[in-house]
Amino acid sequence: MNNFWKAVTVLGAFIAVAQCLNCRQCPIGIFGTCLFGSDVTCNNQTQSCYTGEAQFNATGVVKLHIRGCLDSDLCGKTLTGSLLGAAYTSSFQCCTTDLCNGATSVQISLTVALCAAILSSLWGTWEL
């Protein structure tokens, strides 16, 4: 009977791990491009994938986009705060199925992004 309970415990652990949610993670995205994106497996306390947006109120134009795992109590909420004196507003939209917070987007490395920025700035200085 002791082996039976060991087997139930091991099986329960495998089921708990198998039910963890997979989400698209994007620590920072700007102008529709996600930098350093990946797929992650959320921990057992996180029940939702989210897509978030943060906007500094002073600029009103530049929006930062983030994605990842989130506790369900923050879903659908809009938060306001201040970072170094600049007011911001952020909002979170959630979903609860694997990779529901965004299809895999085109990812570019920071090196490629910097090279492209340098080349584009040089392009304007060349005279034909």
Among 36, 38, 43, 39, smallest CA distance to 16 is for 43
pLDDT band at 105 (very low <50, low <70, confident <90, very high): very low
- pLDDT confidence of residue 36: 86
- pLDDT confidence of residue 84: 84
Q: 116 or 26: which carries more pLDDT confidence?
A: 26
Distance CA 76, CA 53 (A): 12
Domains, the chain: 21-123 (2.10.60.10)
Query: How far is CA 20 from each of CA 15, 43, 74, rounded to the nearest angstrom?
Result: 9, 6, 19
Report whether pLDDT(2) > 60. Answer: no
Task: Tell me what the pLDDT averaged over the chain comes to.
Answer: 75
Q: What is the pLDDT of residues 33-64, one digit of tens each?
A: 888 889 999 988 788 999 999 888 876 677 88
Report whether pLDDT(16) > 50. Answer: no
3-state secondary structure of 44: coil
- pLDDT confidence of residue 49: 95
